[in-house]
Amino acid sequence: MVTMRTDRLVLKQVQKFFYRKKIQQKPFPQSLFPFLQTEKETIKAVDDISFEVQLGQIYGVLGANGSGKSTLIRLISTLLLPDSGQITIFGYDVVKNSYQVRKMMNRVSVDAAFFKRLSALENLIYTARLYDIPVKTATTKATEILERLGFKADRMDGGMEDLSRGMQQKVAIARAFLTAPILLLLDEPTTGLDPKSKRDVQAFINEIRQEHEAAIILTTHDMAEAETLCDQIAIIDQGKFIARGTAGQLKSQINKPESTLEEVFIELTGKDLQEE
């Protein structure tokens, strides 16, 4: 285990841009040479974001599709290198001390990425080996987590491809918790789940927060989820945090204290989440 140097995760003016070839409709002779079209457009996926999350906190990032949530999560999880700015996790820089950082965290993403033909258990054992956790300990722990999530233990030996999306997502959550991360990145962990599975997962996150010291970042476009789970919420739009605070603070920001978080969101971003 890596010893923490501080008790928080700090992002300072983090920026990540992507460059995409512009698709242009050119008249006939030029259209034959698409590779000559070199005009590029810039996507400001994460644009000057700074914030802090303390151990024991759940920090919510609320945003529409394409607003930059996953890019932010990937920057923190060392899968993308920031163009500028600095990210330190419990005192370790994600670029310079990537190895130590990776020891401390895990992530659940929207799409549960697994070896589809392997069983849930085989996938989890692969993770256990990568994290140097004895297979027996890992199996017991994974079974326990999955049972708490309402996943029947006898499905652990079947192929991942035979599991429903909700079940796969539960295995993804077990994979992340198996490694006892002190920084947990949850990228839309409940998107696409049925109401029952959604509640199972949310209840589990809440329980874990109580029994296990960790900093959690949760992205979502579910207002109710952000409101019930998160201590702090930031609203992200086109790569920028346009508002932040507790759910109550956000509501009072638009001077309509009686409004819902959803109305706050629409007011601030001009977007309706339900349409996305």
Partner 1 sequence: MLNIIRTAVREAIVSYAFIERNFNLLKRYLNWEILFFTYSIVNALTIGLIMVGRGDAKDVLYLVIGALVWGFLSIMMREVSDAITWERWEGTIEYTFMAPIHRITHLVGSCLFAIIYGVIRTGIVLAVIPLFFGNHIDLSNANWVAMSVIIAVSSLSFIGIGLMAAIFPLLSPEKGQAATGILQALLLLVSGIYYEIDVLPNWLQPLSKISPATYTLRSIRAAMLDNASVADQLPNLSLLLSIGIVTIPLGFYIFHLGEKYAKRVGRLKRSG
Ligand X SMILES: Nc1ncnc2c1ncn2[C@@H]1O[C@H](COP(=O)(O)OP(=O)(O)OP(=O)(O)O)[C@@H](O)[C@H]1O
The CA–CA distances, whole Å, from 100 to 111, 138, 158 equal 26, 21, 34
Please, what is the minimum distance in Å from the beta carbon of residue 182 to partner 1?
13
**In the bound complex, which residue of the shown chain has the CB atom lying closest to Mg ion?**
70
81 scored as a contact of partner 1 (CB under 8 A): yes
CA–CA dist 3, 19 (Å, integer): 38
Distance from chain centroid for Cα 208: 17
Nearer to ligand X, 71 or 169 (CB): 71
DSSP string, 202-267: HHHHHHHHHHS--EEEEEES-HHHHHHH-SEEEEEETTEEEEEE-HHHHHHHTT-TTS-HHHHHHH
Nearer to partner 1, 45 or 264 (CB): 45
Please, what is the minimum distance in Å from the beta carbon of residue 175 to partner 1?
8
Q: List, in sequence order, every residue forming a beta bridge with 12; answer none if it has no partner.
A: 86
Phi, psi of 88 (to 5 degrees): -120, 135
Stretch that binds Mg ion, among 64-72, 140-148, 234-242, 265-273 (CB under 5 A): 64-72
How many Cβ atoms from other residues are within 10 Å of residue 196's Cβ?
A: 10
Nearer to partner 1, 19 or 33 (CB): 19
67 scored as a contact of Mg ion (CB under 5 A): no
CB 192 within 8 A of CB 170: no
CA–CA dist 194, 252 (Å, integer): 32
197 scored as a contact of Mg ion (CB under 5 A): no
Q: Which of 122, 231, 263, 267 binds partner 1 (CB under 8 A)?
A: 122
Please, what is the minimum distance in Å from the beta carbon of residue 210 to partner 1?
26
74 scored as a contact of partner 1 (CB under 8 A): yes
Nearer to partner 1, 133 or 226 (CB): 133
Nearer to ligand X, 66 or 91 (CB): 66
The encoded tokens of residue 9 equal 């995760």
Which residues here bind partner 1, judged by CB under 8 A?
A: 18-19, 70-71, 74, 77-81, 99, 102-103, 105-107, 109-111, 113-118, 122, 125-127, 129-132, 159, 175, 187-188
